[in-house]
């Protein structure tokens, strides 16, 4: 039998364990997984990759990616953002709807799909926008092919038109509508009413320094925002997805609603597991995320929650900020903006945590690939290394020392990666394959131009 690609002698890591073997790829899919010791002499392949000493994992399925195009190309455009994904071993990105104009209707979904089909370097899925003002457009976005929705409880911005819930009435209406689609809905969880008051008090006291940022958004403001969401999700049967959770208390509380039958999924990001409020005190806008980085004890508690199985997904919340936003934040932290560009560093950051004994490759395969694909309804096409799945594969050297460098990144705003710059980790992505084709090698994209990224929709 002949194949396009054979990856030989890899240690294949999935949620069910790690075994040495060969991955055989045909028509862009995994055709077979041959155990080590099986005679491969008779196999004909166009390309053979010797992966001795390397681990093969499913490519990351990232449920939380901000790419500004259209409308916010100064932060990240479809070319720079998806090249970053290809370089980093993120083979399926799920693109957030808060571009300008935001995606909040069927026509918006189809236009965004066309944009990414022509420009993306990796396969992509789309999130729709849901809010009190887009109720009549929720179902049509599912029919058009979104894997889920994003919604905000907070203040209006141009990129949140149709994505906002004003109070519990809106949340109730939105969750009822979403529950009829069987898609998940992600919410940003921070109580803006309390945060506004605290920010006002700090500003009145002349506080614009870096630490004032976390003082304005303490843990309880995040916990508070999740409570009505969890209760209303339980009452409506909607699939609630709590994005970028930084507090272990939310994981504990979610247990109560989950035990009562609510469908709640919890996401966290590498930065909440690795950095602390001391990094924000040091780097200000270059370590400014919302919710903010937490004290070390909270990071510890989050790892414990992860070890107990209370966290379901690791996503990047990739969101570079512009030099202008960072410069403003240096003067007044409340005027800073943007987040962290994490597509190119998520694997090395987490591989390093495996080396530190905090987690395992099997858990990463589950949290970064398999389970997000399940949440999005695109498993086992994505997130799996079983026969029949798309051959989206990352080969990693778990033991290679690696120094992260912002200058080598594809993200449009390299400067906003300052927190990672010069950071020494152990663990490196060696090769990335999309549907059996090599797309990057050691952080360098090997394609001259995008060649037919696929729009991934729930089956």
Pick between residue 173 and residue 317 the one whose CB is nearest to Zn ion.
317
Cβ burial 383-417 (10 Å sphere, 16+ → b, else e): bbbeeebbbbbbbbbbebebebebeebbbbbbbbb
Enter the tokens of residue 387: 């026969």
Q: How many CB atoms lie within 10 A of CB 110?
A: 16
> In angstroms, rounded to a whole number, what is the distance separating the alpha carbons of residues 58 and 317?
19
Q: How far is the CB of 317 from Zn ion (least distance, A)?
A: 4
In 71-143, DSSP assigns E strands to 90-95, 123-129
Pick between residue 312 and residue 317 the one whose CB is nearest to Zn ion.
317
Number of residues that bind Zn ion (CB under 5 A): 1
- The single-letter DSSP state of residue 334 is G
In 356-413, where does DSSP find H-type helix? Answer: 361-365, 371-376
Enter the tokens of residue 68: 């500004």
Q: Which of 362, 361, 379 is nearest to 370 (CA)?
A: 379
The enclosing H or E element of 30 equals strand 29-35
Q: Does 222 bind Zn ion (CB under 5 A)?
A: no
> Judged by CB under 5 A, which stretch of 5-13, 24-32, 314-322, 361-369 contacts Zn ion?
314-322
> Judged by CB under 5 A, which stretch of 152-160, 225-233, 299-307, 317-325 contacts Zn ion?
317-325
- Exposed/middle/buried for residue 184 (C-beta within 10 Å: 0-12, 13-18, 19+): buried
Q: How far is the CB of 246 from Zn ion (least distance, A)?
A: 12
Q: Which of 116, 122, 113, 61 is nearest to 87 (CA)?
A: 122
Pick between residue 155 and residue 355 the one whose CB is nearest to Zn ion.
155
CA distances from 320 to 75, 81, 152, 412, 442 (A): 6, 9, 19, 8, 22
Q: How far is the CB of 20 from Zn ion (least distance, A)?
A: 38
Q: How far is the CB of 225 from Zn ion (least distance, A)?
A: 14
Per-residue binder mask for Zn ion (CB under 5 A), 6-25, x = binder: --------------------
Q: Is the dihedral of CA 136, 138, 140, 141 positive or negative?
A: positive
Q: Which residue is nearest to Zn ion (CB)?
A: 317
Q: Is the dihedral of CA 170, 176, 177, 183 positive or negative?
A: positive
Backbone phi, psi, residue 337, to 5°: -170, 180
Per-residue binder mask for Zn ion (CB under 5 A), 271-310, x = binder: ----------------------------------------
Pick between residue 73 and residue 255 the one whose CB is nearest to Zn ion.
73
Strands 437-441 and 444-445: antiparallel
> In angstroms, rounded to a whole number, what is the distance separating the alpha carbons of residues 13 and 362?
6
- Exposed/middle/buried for residue 94 (C-beta within 10 Å: 0-12, 13-18, 19+): buried
Please check whether residue 435 is in contact with residue 104, taking contact to mean a CB–CB distance below 8 angstroms. no
Helix, strand or coil, per DSSP, at residue 346? helix
Q: Does 317 bind Zn ion (CB under 5 A)?
A: yes
Q: Which of 22, 19, 55 is nearest to 39 (CA)?
A: 22
> In angstroms, rounded to a whole number, what is the distance separating the alpha carbons of residues 221 and 414?
31
Q: How far is the CB of 32 from Zn ion (least distance, A)?
A: 38
**Which positions touch Zn ion (CB under 5 A)?**
317
């Amino acid at each position: 039998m002949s194949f396009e690609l054979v990856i030989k002698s890899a240690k294949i890591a999935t949620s069910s364990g790690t075994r040495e073997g060969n991955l055989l790829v045909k028509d862009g899919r995994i055709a077979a997984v041959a155990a080590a010791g099986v005679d491969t002499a008779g196999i004909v392949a166009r390309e053979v990759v010797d992966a001795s000493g390397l681990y093969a994992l499913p490519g990351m399925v990232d449920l939380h990616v901000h790419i500004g195009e259209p409308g916010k190309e100064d932060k990240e455009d479809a070319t720079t953002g998806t090249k970053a994904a290809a370089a980093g071993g993120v083979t399926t990105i799920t693109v957030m709807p808060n571009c300008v104009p935001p995606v909040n209707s069927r026509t918006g979904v189809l236009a965004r799909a066309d944009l990414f089909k022509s420009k993306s370097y990796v396969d992509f899925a789309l999130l729709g926008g849901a809010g009190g003002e887009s109720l009549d457009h929720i179902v049509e976005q599912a029919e058009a092919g979104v894997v889920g929705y994003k919604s905000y409880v907070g203040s209006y911005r141009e990129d949140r038109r149709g994505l906002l819930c004003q109070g519990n009435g809106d949340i109730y209406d939105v969750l009822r509508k979403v529950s009829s689609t069987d898609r998940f809905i992600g919410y940003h969880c921070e109580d803006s009413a309390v945060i506004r008051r605290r920010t006002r008090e700090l500003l009145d006291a002349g506080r614009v320094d870096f630490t004032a940022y976390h003082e304005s958004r303490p843990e309880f403001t995040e916990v508070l925002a999740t409570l009505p969401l969890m209760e209303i999700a339980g009452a409506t049967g909607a699939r609630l997805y709590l994005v970028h959770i930084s507090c272990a208390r939310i994981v504990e509380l979610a247990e109560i609603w989950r035990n009562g039958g609510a469908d709640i999924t919890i996401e966290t990001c590498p930065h909440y597991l690795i950095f602390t409020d001391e990094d924000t005190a040091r780097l200000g806008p270059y370590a400014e995320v919302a919710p903010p980085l937490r004290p070390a004890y909270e990071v510890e508690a989050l790892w414990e929650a992860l070890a107990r199985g209370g966290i379901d997904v690791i996503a990047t919340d990739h969101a570079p900020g512009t030099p202008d936003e960072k410069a403003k934040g240096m003067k007044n932290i409340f005027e800073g903006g943007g987040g962290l560009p994490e597509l190119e560093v998520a694997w090395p950051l987490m591989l390093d945590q495996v080396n530190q004994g905090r987690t395992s490759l099997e858990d990463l395969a589950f949290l970064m690939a398999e389970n997000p694909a399940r949440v999005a309804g695109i498993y086992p096409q994505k997130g799996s290394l079983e026969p029949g799945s798309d051959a989206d594969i990352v080969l990693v050297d778990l033991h290679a020392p690696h120094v992260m460098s912002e200058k080598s990144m594809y993200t449009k705003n390299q400067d906003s990666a300052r927190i990672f710059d010069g950071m020494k980790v152990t663990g490196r992505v060696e090769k990335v394959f999309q549907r059996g084709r090599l797309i990057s090698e050691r952080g360098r994209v090997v394609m001259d131009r995008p060649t037919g990224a696929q729009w991934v929709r729930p089956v």
